[in-house]
A and B are shown apart, each in its own frame.
Chain A
Amino acid sequence: MLTMLPVWDVVGNAPDMVAGVLPLTVLWSYAAFTLNFILAIVVYFTQFRPWAEHAERLSDEADPATRDDYRAATSRVGEGDK
């Protein structure tokens, strides 16, 4: 939503340089993008990494999956039970 505010001309849609760093539109957009990137890092620490540690045991299982597992999963209904 923050990203779209200048696109919708609500705020941040001006070409003026801000403190000699970047024009406002570019600065606003990349600040919003960076916030999203930070959000991705938060997701990593709160969701993804704990899951990855929990699921690490899966990578120790037989690999690749057994041919029987594959057939059971991809056979048409009824075929796999024969």
Chain B
Amino acid sequence: MSGITIGAIVGIIAYLAIIFLIGSWAYRRNIKGDLADQYLVGRGLNPFVLIGTLFATWFSTFAFLGGPGTYYLTGVNWLLFGFFNSMGPVLIWVFGSRMWALGRKYGYITPGDLLAGYYDGSRRVRMLSAIVGIAVLFPYAAIQLSGIAKAVAGATDNFVPYQAGILIVAVSVGLYSIFGGSRAVVWTDVIQGFIFALVLLVTAILVVGWSGGWAEGWSRTVQTSSEKLLFTGDTSGAYFTVMLLWTFGWVLTPHLWQRMYMARSPKVMAVSMVFASGLSLWVVTFSGAVIGFLAMGLFPQIPQGFDTDALTPLLYREFLPIGAVALVVATFAAGMSTLDSQVLSGSSIFTLDLYRESRRSASNMSLSRVGRFFEAVFVVGLVLFALFPASQALIIPLASVGVGFGLVFLMPLIGALYWPRASEAAAFWSMTCGFGVMLLLQLVPAVGEPLPFSYGPPAWGFFVSVAVFYVVSYMTQPVSERSRDLHHGYLETVFPSRRRRAVPGFVTTSHR
């Protein structure tokens, strides 16, 4: 066993020890039977923790494994990854502030709570939002799990084999999520986000040094790979699809949506928007770009036996082998910070949108226990999918469109927050049709290839959901006056400058 492998194992053990300490602290502080405490840290996050959990939850192992590798492979065509990731947090103002206000007023915990709440308590909207939510979370989480295990197996020369990596990560995430709840998840996110952001920044700085300095490094890239520094101009449709995913994913994926409910106050939301945007642009995406572009000068061709996802490990292997230790820990941190949030979010959806619908009289204590049970089920499901190659064949196409499924929430959400003309039927059918189109185009290649204008399945599903939402809204009755008053009427008092559009029969009553 090499020194690096020993170092990696010691690093993993030290990292897991810290994470379990946080989980144990969170367990002692949790309020038993309080669902908002279990899933939303009691809606009490300060700016430091909210920024940390937003940042760590949104960025996964892709940020420093796949991201730099994709810059290396596709060059400037991947630059908009930075743009859209930094614009996403602006949506915290557009949508998040209103989601926060309604969540606090009515005790919403899941996306389905808000959507069903606005659309007259619609059970079918709640059920469908739960199905879409699980479709967003599960494949993405399964890919995270297998991604971490593969990276760790590679970094430790298979001393920690793939299967063992899966079990270590699953058991760790399962334990601190189940017992520590959201408090453990967000605080470990802060630590995990700090670790992987630091490793990313340090890696970028090291790569500049290995390239002979800033100007020298970029000049070598220009000399060796000038074609990758030109936009090819034929990828606008692909850009648009990526823009939709990466921008709206900041609020529409269930685990990020629920972070909109977590802030202690509006000021926390405001500060978090700015910092999350800045960190995304300058720490994650610019560092990733520097690594990917300067690596073009260092490795004009990627060595045989490596793919571009292994670019960062390859750089360390070549120039600073001991750095692989930090890389392994950062891989754990980046993957687990996303995975734990997905497990918790999936559990809340199962418990509150599906189980509670069939057991309306269930007490909070009972729902809390059921939630923990569903977390365990979710983790076991992830392990099974990650361990069996046959299931990977299904999960990989789903994961590649996974975040995109969340786009079908956009129109119903706009209705719930802004547009009084929206109807329950429009919300249901726009989600159904949009989700159906995405699934069809992704899973049936004969239908999905080639797609016009190079737009991907998420974009086409989104277009369909927009069209269906507007057409059906104008063909059917808007939601009840009571619901409009509870939501738009309440937002009117929270956002006093907002002007409501006239809808027949709409009457405002006062909210205190």
Which A residues are within 8 Å of any B CB, using their own CB? 3-4, 6-9, 13-17, 20-23, 25-26, 29-30, 32-34, 36-37, 40-41, 43-44, 47-49, 51-56, 58-59, 61, 63-67, 69-70, 72-77, 79-81
> Would you call A32 and B236 a contact (CB within 8 A)?
no
Partner of B264, one of A6, A16, A59, A81: A59
List, sorted by A's number, 14 A–B pairs whose CB atoms are closer than 8 Å: A4-B236, A13-B231, A23-B218, A25-B79, A29-B79, A47-B93, A48-B93, A51-B97, A59-B104, A59-B265, A59-B266, A65-B104, A77-B121, A77-B482
CB distance from B484 to the nearest CB of A (A): 12
Q: How many angstroms from the CA of A33 to the CA of B229 in the assembled complex?
A: 17
> Would you call A74 and B104 a contact (CB within 8 A)?
no
Mask of B76-92 contacts with A, CB within 8 angstroms, 1/0: 10011011001101100
Note all chain A residues with C-beta closer than 8 A to B87: 36, 40
Total A-B pairs, Cβ < 8 A: 177
Note all chain A residues with C-beta closer than 8 A to B305: none
> Would you call A7 and B121 a contact (CB within 8 A)?
no
CB distance from B73 to the nearest CB of A (A): 16
Asked if B143 lies at the interface with its beta carbon under 8 angstroms from chain A, I say no
Number of chain B residues close to chain A: CB under 8 A: 64
- The prevalent SS among residues of B at the interface is helix
CB distance from A9 to the nearest CB of B (A): 5
Query: Residue among B83, B233, B239 with the most chain A CB within 10 A?
Result: B83
> Would you call B270 and A48 a contact (CB within 8 A)?
yes
Note all chain A residues with C-beta closer than 8 A to B264: 59
Instruction: Known contacts A33-B83, A51-B97; decide if A75 and B121 are in contact (CB<8 Å).
Output: yes
Note all chain B residues with C-beta closer than 8 A to A76: 120-123
> Would you call B83 and A69 a contact (CB within 8 A)?
no
Q: How many angstroms from the CA of A55 to the CA of B107 in the assembled complex?
A: 17
Which B residues are within 8 Å of any A CB, using their own CB? 36, 42-43, 76, 79-80, 82-83, 86-87, 89-90, 93, 97, 101, 104-108, 113, 116-117, 120-123, 214-215, 218-219, 221-222, 226-227, 229-231, 233, 235-236, 239, 264-267, 269-270, 273-274, 277-278, 281, 286, 289, 293, 480, 482-483, 486-487, 494-496
> Would you call A52 and B266 a contact (CB within 8 A)?
yes
Q: How many angstroms from the CA of A42 to the CA of B139 in the assembled complex?
A: 37
CB distance from A26 to the nearest CB of B (A): 6
| B267 (CB) vs chain A CBs: closest residue | A52
If A51-B97, A58-B494 are given as contacts, then 13 extra A-B residue pairs at C-beta distance below 8 Å, sorted by A number, are A15-B230, A20-B219, A34-B281, A37-B281, A41-B274, A44-B273, A61-B105, A63-B36, A64-B36, A64-B104, A72-B106, A76-B122, A76-B123
